[in-house]
């Protein structure tokens, strides 16, 4: 944004392709999140050690309590 202000080029054109690709990126990111979450759950299910609270929040379980 700073570059746009310094070059006085602040007008932007948004095309329908931008909206479609942004939506597609969100979908890919969500699918990636679900796959990684299920893999982490499977790995941690076999591990009996105490789970980091951040990872526990990420996978949405309360196994260490």
The H or E element spanning position 20 is: helix 16-46
Domain ranges of the chain: 24-65
Instruction: Determine the Cα–Cα distance for residues 6 and 58; give it in Å rounded to an integer.
Output: 41
User: How far, CA to CA in Å, does 41 sit from each of 19, 29, 51?
Assistant: 33, 18, 11
With 0.75 as the threshold, say if the pTM is over it: no
Which pLDDT belongs to residue 64?
Answer: 46
Which pLDDT belongs to residue 22?
Answer: 93
Lowest-pLDDT choice from 20-24, 33-37, 48-52, 56-60: 48-52
Buried b (16+ CB within 10 A) or exposed e, 5-38: eeeeeeeeeeeeeeeeeeeeeeeeeeeeeeeeee
């Amino acid at each position: 944004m700073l570059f746009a202000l310094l070059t006085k080029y602040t007008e932007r054109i948004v095309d329908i392709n931008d909206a479609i690709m942004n939506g597609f990126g969100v979908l890919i990111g969500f699918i990636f999140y679900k796959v990684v979450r299920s893999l982490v759950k499977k790995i941690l299910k076999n591990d009996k050690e105490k789970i980091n609270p951040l990872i526990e929040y990420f996978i949405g379980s309360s196994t260490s309590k």
